[in-house]
């Protein structure tokens, strides 16, 4: 991926357990969409086109988590077909919101929800793609950020490293002159432990970051939990703060379990 190909890179988009929102970000790249379609060869993208070319592919974009036996096998095939495998979105990178089942009895959910539970074959856990196959790169977020996706494509086309920060959201806030919601309003903002890349979307609109990009590098979730506690936030609420789209990412998982134990 760090060297430009002589021909257009062949891209495939695969869906696992997910809401499709991240794939849609690609179609949502309105201004850049035609350029993207021109710069790469979309070889396999069932949501966008009936034309489905066989692998191998230069780049596989994988959305969604693994929640069934079938998917656990399919991801192995996908990996074999893709030179570079990139996971896109919180489901693929962390197990997604459906990883909340990991703390519960999935079979019981099935019994309550479905008229014929015997038709449903599901795994006990929702797990990120990286727990099954080696992953080359991650695009975080629920959903992913359009600009990051376009940046990724632009980098691939010329064979350079994409600019994908792994530091806190706080740095994005400060570069844009957004006043800290945590300090100036006492908002329980997840920004100090959350990876940047969204352009501080929520804080820019006066809402605390809810951590949809998952843990940043060296996320100190224990310290942020203490800060939230000092704001008077109950432990049950703190557990929920960490148990959303990236609940199964270990740094967040550790923090939610710690809050639950209290």
Partner 1 sequence: MSEPDAKRGTAVWVSRAGLNQLIANLKAQGYQVVGPRIADGAIVYDAIEGISDLPSGWTEQQEAGTYRLRRRDDDALFGYNLGPQSWKKFLHPPLLRFFAAERNNGELRILPSTEPAPRYALLGVRACELAAIQVLDRVFLKDAFVEPNYASRRRDLVVIAVQCTRAAPTCFCRSMGTGPAVRSGFDVALTELGEGFVAQAGTERGEQLLGSVERAPADEELIRQAQEAVEQAAAQMVRRIETQDLARRLQEALESPHWDDVARRCLACGNCTMVCPTCFCTTVEDTSNVRGNRAERWRKWDSCFTESFSYIHGGSVRTSVRSRYRQWLTHKLSWWVDQFDMFGCVGCGRCITWCPAGIDLTQEVSKLVASG
Give Cβ neighbours of residue 218 (< 8 Å, ≥ 6 apart).
none
Both tokens of 159, joined, read 């064979």
Q: Which range in 11-19, 113-121, 171-179, 239-247 contacts partner 1 by CB under 8 A? A: 171-179
Both tokens of 28, joined, read 């949502």
Contact string (CB under 8 A) for partner 1, positions 198-237, x = contact: --------x----------xx-x-xxx-xx----------
Which residue of 20, 35, 131, 260 would you call a contact of partner 1, by CB under 8 A? 35
Which residue of 20, 171, 233, 260 would you call a contact of partner 1, by CB under 8 A? 171
CB of 157 to partner 1, least distance (A): 5
Q: Collapsing DSSP states into helix, strand and coil, what is residue 198? A: coil
CB of 219 to partner 1, least distance (A): 8
Alpha-carbon Rg for the chain in angstroms: 19
58 vs 86: CA distance, rounded Å? 11
182 binds partner 1 (CB under 8 A): yes
For partner 1, how many residues bind (rule: CB under 8 A)? 44
Angstrom CA distances, 50 to 43, 77, 122, stand at 10, 21, 28
Q: Are 230 and 245 in contact (CB under 8 A)?
A: no
Q: Which range in 29-37, 66-74, 134-142, 247-255 contacts partner 1 by CB under 8 A? A: 29-37
Contact string (CB under 8 A) for partner 1, positions 130-169, x = contact: --------------------xx-xxx-xx-x--x-xxxx-
Q: Which range in 33-41, 77-85, 88-96, 243-251 contacts partner 1 by CB under 8 A? A: 33-41
**Closest CB to partner 1 among residues 115, 184:** 184
Q: Are 40 and 156 in contact (CB under 8 A)?
A: yes
Q: Which of 245, 129, 257 is nearest to 190 (CA)?
A: 245
Q: Which of 63, 51, 49 is nearest to 21 (CA)?
A: 63
Q: Collapsing DSSP states into helix, strand and coil, what is residue 125? A: coil
The residues binding partner 1 (CB under 8 A) are 32, 35-36, 38-39, 150-151, 153-155, 157-158, 160, 163, 165-168, 170-171, 174-180, 182-186, 191-193, 206, 217-218, 220, 222-224, 226-227
């Amino acid at each position: 991926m760090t060297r430009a190909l002589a021909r257009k890179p062949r891209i495939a988009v695969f869906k696992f357990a997910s809401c499709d929102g991240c794939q849609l970000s690609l179609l949502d790249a309105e201004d850049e969409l035609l350029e993207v379609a021109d710069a790469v060869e979309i070889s396999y993208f069932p949501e966008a086109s009936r034309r489905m070319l066989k692998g191998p592919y230069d780049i596989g974009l994988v959305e969604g988590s693994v929640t069934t036996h079938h998917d656990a096998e399919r991801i192995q095939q996908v990996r074999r077909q893709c030179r570079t495998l990139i996971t896109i979105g919180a489901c693929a990178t962390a197990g997604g919101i459906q990883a909340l089942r990991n703390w519960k009895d999935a079979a019981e959910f099935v019994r309550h929800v479905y008229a014929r539970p015997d038709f449903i074959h599901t795994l006990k856990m929702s797990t990120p793609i990286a727990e099954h196959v080696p992953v080359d790169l991650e695009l975080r977020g629920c959903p992913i950020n359009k600009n990051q996706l376009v940046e990724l494509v632009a980098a691939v086309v010329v064979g350079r490293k994409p600019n994908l920060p792994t530091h806190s959201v706080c740095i994005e806030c400060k570069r844009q002159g957004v006043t800290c919601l945590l300090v100036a309003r006492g908002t329980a903002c997840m920004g100090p432990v959350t990876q940047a890349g969204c352009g501080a979307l929520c804080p820019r609109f006066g809402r605390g970051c809810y951590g949809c990009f998952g843990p940043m590098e060296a996320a100190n979730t224990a310290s942020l939990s203490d800060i939230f506690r000092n704001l008077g936030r109950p432990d049950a609420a703190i557990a929920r703060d960490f148990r959303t789209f990236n609940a199964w990412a270990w740094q967040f998982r550790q923090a939610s379990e710690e809050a639950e134990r209290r």
